[in-house]
Copies of this chain bind each other. A is one copy, B any other.
Amino acid sequence: MIKQLANNPSNLVSESLSGVILSNPNISKISEVNAVVRSDINIVKDAFVSIISGGGSGHEPAHVGYVGFGMLSGAVCGNVFASPSVAAILKTIRACAGKAGVLLIVKNYTGDRLNFGMALERAKVEGIKIEMLIVHDDCALELGKGITGGRGIAGTVFVHKIAGAAASQGLKLSEVFDIAYRASKQIKSIGVALSMCSIPGSVPSERLIGSVYEIGMGIHGEPGKEQRPFPPEGSLNEIATQMICHLLESSYGEPFVPQSNLALMVNNLGGLSVLELYALTGRVIRILADKQLYVVRSYVGTFMSSINMAGASLSLIHVNPIILSYLDASTSCSSWVASPVLKPLDDSYDIAKDIIDRVPIAAESGVESYPRGTYECPHALEYITVAAHRLIDIEPRITAYDLVCGDGDCGLVLRAGAQAALSALEKLTASRDLKSGDSVPINAVELCLCLADHISGSMGGTSGALLEIMLRAMAVSLVSVGLTTLA
């Protein structure tokens, strides 16, 4: 049994839509079907081309999250992973059709092509001015393989944005279609999945439960390019590199040539942590910069999900000033997040350039202000070293206990503290130029303060603060009683 927040898988889509409507009075539902339109559609549809998209549900915020000024006029929602019916699409077209006409933006799946295509033909018979654009940005499969060609995935959201911005400028249907069509040819996407998604009401899939990941999996879990063993270390670098290689080597559309400016979308497929999503983003921007491909806009978030799939997709679009003006144009929809203007990274990029460090350097601790001891202390360093290594070794057990009775960080924090203590000892002994096995003359106050400094800078957590307070207080006490050396 998959645990999901649904009264009944068969009405989850309509329950979810009613949450969208209740949260946003600027979009309205069409009766009897799972479709929404801008609430002001009847005011704007004669002057501005209406943009409609849609497809199976399970990809939220696509497509309802993009309904609003500057993006979509309407969105039609099928059941989870299933194309909407012709009847629902046709009803949405009729609601949005005015003198300016309608553009359908459809992702390249057989079901969507058939249903949107049938609705298109019926709308034409009714005298509605309408065009359809099929988007296939997913370059997971080689061109020419498979039956239907490339699938449409998150890069389609770029087409929604560009077409919507062009329409909101009052351009004609043929012009909006032309801009959207040319933009769609500049987009390539690739996905990666660490886990399969959970389809409401279905039995969990066994796919990807082992230590593997899949490059190029589609947003419905369609087979990708290949499954690879999940690397025990360095997964971020490997996966980011694989994805970029795939995007750059794909035979889809025009290649991205060096010195190009690109907009990047890093799309959460639903179940990846935001922490990982940004780590992927940083890695991707650097790898592209190494290839002289410059990211000038970066859109990071959940744009087109696959329910709760742990994974991400990358979409790249080659941009020029006109495309950028459409991407930067304002929109009232709830789920498009604007990107600031990014300065292209050049070959000499160094993260340090992005660092401000205009604050005064923290005052050095008083280590040097106490005289060094001259007494032998054969055991202090040894004891601390043994204890620190022991603490590092048993971290998994401490973490397991703390997951039961606390918040799960105790093991890692103590391990960081132990490593800090080892660094402190290394610094103390290095400064004395000792050979291994020599016994160490050490000053107790110096030891406490050096440990406190290292712990302060690296350990964190409650225990870090408590240890630092204890060590500093101990140093002050040792000075006050005149006992400044360990005998």
Docked CA distance A196–B201 (Å): 21
| Min distance, Cβ A85 to any Cβ of chain B, angstroms | 5
A342 at the interface (CB under 8 A from B): yes
Contact bitstring A80-97, B, C-beta under 8 A = 1, else 0: 111111111011001100
* 24 intermolecular pairs with C-beta atoms under 8 Å apart: A1-B211, A5-B279, A7-B233, A7-B237, A8-B234, A12-B275, A15-B236, A21-B351, A22-B354, A29-B354, A30-B357, A42-B358, A60-B278, A81-B407, A81-B409, A83-B462, A94-B360, A109-B407, A111-B409, A111-B462, A114-B462, A196-B403, A207-B404, A218-B407
Q: Binary interface profile of A, 259-303, with partner B (CB < 8 Å = 1, else 0)? A: 000000000001111111111111101100000000100101010
B194 with A399: CB separation less than 8 A: no
A436 interface residue, CB < 8 Å from B?
Answer: no
From 60 to 94 in chain A, residues with beta carbon under 8 angstroms from any chain B beta carbon are 60-61, 65, 78-88, 90-91, 94
In the bound complex, do residue B285 and residue A23 qualify as a contact, i.e. CB atoms below 8 Å apart?
Answer: yes
A28–B356 CB distance below 8 A: yes
A305 is contacted by which of B273, B305, B362, B458 (Cβ under 8 Å)?
Answer: B273
Also in contact, A300 and B19, with CB within 8 A (given A60-B273, A82-B409, A396-B203)? yes
The answer to whether the Cβ of A408 comes within 8 Å of any Cβ in the partner chain is yes
Complex CA gap A48/B115 in Å reads 56
Which of A164-172, A306-314, A322-330 lies at the interface with chain B? A306-314
Is the CB of A145 closer than 8 A to any CB of chain B? no
| A411: B residues at CB distance < 8 A | 202
Among A29, A88, A409, residue most surrounded by chain B Cβ atoms (within 10 Å): A409
| A144 contacts B by Cβ under 8 Å | no
Interface size on A, residues (CB 8 A): 152
Residues of the B chain whose Cβ atoms lie less than 8 Å from the Cβ of A3: 194-195, 211, 213, 230, 235, 310
Judge whether A19 and B396 touch: CB under 8 Å.
no
Per-position binary interface string of chain A over residues 451-475, scored 1 when its CB falls under 8 Å from any chain B CB and 0 otherwise: 0000011111111111011000000
